[in-house]
Structure formats: structure tokens, C-alpha cells
């Protein structure tokens, strides 16, 4: 579904992404982890069309994102790290607005909005203005907005920032269900390593714009020469060259 080949992106003197290649197949959850400034968000923003690649290609469902932006955007759902929306728009209007931009018919929107609101028990606050929502509730609405048009590829930048533990659990269940039952490919950039460990089928570790390791969690453990019980955090620290004495 998502194929990135030799992708590079530079901002002035800073090489944000350096020759990165990866693939996310149908039904896979690919979590990309790495320190701040590693290039994770740049990959997501380029795939969704907010940035243009300097080198390499990114294809979604076989179509190049630069050559066919409208077609690729139509099948992508994007959840940003900063879920800002127009302060005077209600949550319900916001969901319908995004749905309309993605061409979801009105009746289908009405049905899906009702169903989606129940995922996070947002019924009752959907008619309030966006400016009144907490960070967590804004995040929930942005997650629901990305799902309205039933995307084939979900791009998620920091999915659980500001969410309470129950909501985090719901997001995890939701993503796993979408991948398993509906074959949605999910690409997640996150710093919440426990979240990645729980749901990822594949993990990529980035540092200074380069993909330094990728594979399943077990494959990464092996690469880091760690035991079976080692957490993703241990793997991450080992592979990024950082180590801390055990508590």
C-alpha cells in the first residue's frame, strides 16, 4: 500500500530524511520511532502532500504522490500531531466538513459520524465549538475525521498525546481492528514506545534522518542482541547508541 524508495528531504543545510526506503503492506501497522528531529514527521507530511520529496519516490496504492496527489490523498487518512481546527466550528460540523471534502455522501456521513462518535463516547459534546475542547478531545475528533472516508492507508503522527489511558486502549484496539479486519495499512510516528510495541507488526528506528533498523520487534531484539523480554525501549536505546543503568 505504501512504498517509499530512496526518499531524501533537505531543509537548507539540514538533511531531514536521508535515503529512506520502506514498505507498508495491507493490514500492517508500521511504527516509526526515533528522537526529535529524526525525520519521522517529514516522511508522513511528504506522503500526505504537505511536503515534496527532493529525491526518491513515494507511492500509495501504486500511485506516485507527486504525480497523482488528488487520487492518493483520497485514500489516505491523516491524523496530525497538532489537531487544530477552526475555533468556531462544532465537532459535528468539523467531521461533516472533512467528510464532504473527501466526497462522503450526506446519509453515509450521518451514519458514520454517529457510529464514530460512540468510539470515544463523544456524543453530547459534538455540538460544542472546537475551541472549547481539551487537547485530548481535539485529538479524538481528528482521529475520527481521518476515518470518515474509510481510508486504505492511515498516517498517524503521535496518536495518543493528551489521551487518557482508556482512550489510548481504545485507539490501540481501533487500529488493530482496522488493520486486521479491514486490511487498512497504518503508518505511525510516535515517541510512545509501549504503544508501538503493543500494536506494531513492524517497527522502524530512525536517527538523524536515516533508517538505522527496521523489522518486527523480535527481529530488532535480535539485531540489538537483547533477550526475548527486552522492551522496545531497551531495543531503541541499544540501537540508537544510548544506554542507561537499570533502575
Partner 1 sequence: MIGSFLRLFTKGVRGYFAKRTVPKLITVFLFLLVVIGVATAVFFGVREGFTLIQNQTYGRQTLSLYIYEAFFLILGYLMFASAIVSGLFTLFRGDANNWIVASPRYKSAILRAGFGILDSATGTLLVIGIPAILALAGVYGGGAISIPSALIALLLLTLITSGLAMVIILLFATALYYLRGPTWRALHVKWLAVLSGILMAALTYGLVRTIVGMNIFSLFISGPITATTANIDGVVAAFHWFPTTILALMMLALQNHAWALAWEYIGGIAAAAIFVMLIIYLFSFKFLKLWQGVQEGSFEARTSITAIHKPPRAFPRFLKSDLGALFEKEVIVNFRSARDSLWVVFILGLWVLQTGLNIFLRKNSANYGTSEVNIIALIQALQAATTVFFTSTFALRFVLPSFSSDRRMAWIMGTSPVAPRRIFFSKLSFYAITFLLLGIVVGIVNAAILGISLVAEGMFILLIAVMIVGITAFALSLGALFPNTESDDPETVSTSLPGLGFTFISLAYGGAGAWLYYIFLKTFQGAAVYSFIVGSVVLVVLMIVVASTRLKTFNPFSDEVGVEGGD
DSSP state of 80: -
On the CB side of 158, CA atoms within 13 Å amount to: 16
Residues 48-77 within binding reach of partner 1 (CB under 8 A): 48-52, 69-71, 73-74, 76
131-190 residues near partner 1, rule: CB under 8 A = 131-134, 136-137, 140, 142, 145
| Contact present, 208 and 14 (Cβ < 8 Å) | no
Residue 98, helix vs strand vs coil: helix
Environment class of 97 (CB within 10 Å of its CB; exposed 0-12, middle 13-18, buried 19+): middle
Which range binds partner 1 by CB under 8 A, 55-63, 101-109, 193-201, 217-225?
101-109
CB distance 113 to 148 below 8 Å: yes
Does 230 bind partner 1 (CB under 8 A)? Our answer is no
Parallel/antiparallel/unpaired status of strands 185-189 and 153-157: parallel
Distance CA 43, CA 125 (A): 34
Q: Which member of 36, 225, 243, 246 binds partner 1 (CB under 8 A)?
A: 36
Stretch that binds partner 1, among 25-33, 109-117, 212-220, 226-234 (CB under 8 A): 109-117
Cβ at position 106, least distance to partner 1 in Å: 5
Residues at the contact surface with partner 1, assessed by CB under 8 A: 9, 11-12, 14, 16-17, 36-42, 45, 48-52, 69-71, 73-74, 76, 78, 80, 82-89, 92-93, 96-98, 100-103, 106, 109-110, 113-114, 120-125, 127-129, 131-134, 136-137, 140, 142, 145
Amino acid at each position: 500500500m505504501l512504498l517509499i524508495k530512496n526518499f531524501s528531504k533537505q531543509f537548507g543545510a539540514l538533511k531531514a530524511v536521508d535515503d529512506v526506503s520502506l514498505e507498508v503492506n495491507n493490514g500492517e501497522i508500521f511504527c516509526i520511532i526515533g528522537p526529535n528531529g529524526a525525520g519521522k514527521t517529514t516522511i508522513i507530511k511528504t506522503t500526505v502532500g504537505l511536503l515534496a520529496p527532493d529525491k526518491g519516490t513515494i507511492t500509495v496504492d501504486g500511485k506516485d504522490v507527486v504525480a497523482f496527489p488528488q487520487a492518493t490523498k483520497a485514500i489516505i487518512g491523516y491524523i496530525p500531531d497538532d489537531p487544530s481546527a477552526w475555533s468556531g466550528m462544532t465537532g459535528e460540523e468539523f467531521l461533516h466538513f472533512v467528510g464532504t471534502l473527501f466526497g462522503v455522501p450526506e446519509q453515509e456521513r450521518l451514519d458514520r459520524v454517529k457510529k464514530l462518535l460512540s468510539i470515544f463516547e463523544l456524543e453530547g459534546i459534538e455540538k460544542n465549538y472546537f475551541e472549547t475542547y481539551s487537547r485530548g478531545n481535539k485529538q479524538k475528533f481528528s482521529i475520527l475525521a481521518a476515518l470518515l472516508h474509510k481510508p486504505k492507508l492511515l498516517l498517524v503522527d503521535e496518536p495518543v498525546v493528551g489521551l487518557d489511558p482508556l482512550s489510548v486502549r481504545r485507539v490501540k484496539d481501533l487500529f488493530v481492528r482496522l488493520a486486521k479486519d479491514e486490511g487498512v495499512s497504518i503508518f505511525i510516528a510516535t515517541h510512545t514506545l509501549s504503544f508501538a510495541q503493543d500494536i506494531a507488526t513492524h517497527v522502524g528506528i530512525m536517527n538523524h534522518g536515516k533508517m538505522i533498523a527496521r523489522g518486527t520487534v523480535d527481529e530488532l531484539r535480535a539485531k540489538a542482541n537483547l533477550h526475548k523480554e527486552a522492551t522496545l525501549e531497551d531495543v531503541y536505546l541499544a540501537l540508537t547508541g544510548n544506554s542507561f543503568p537499570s533502575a
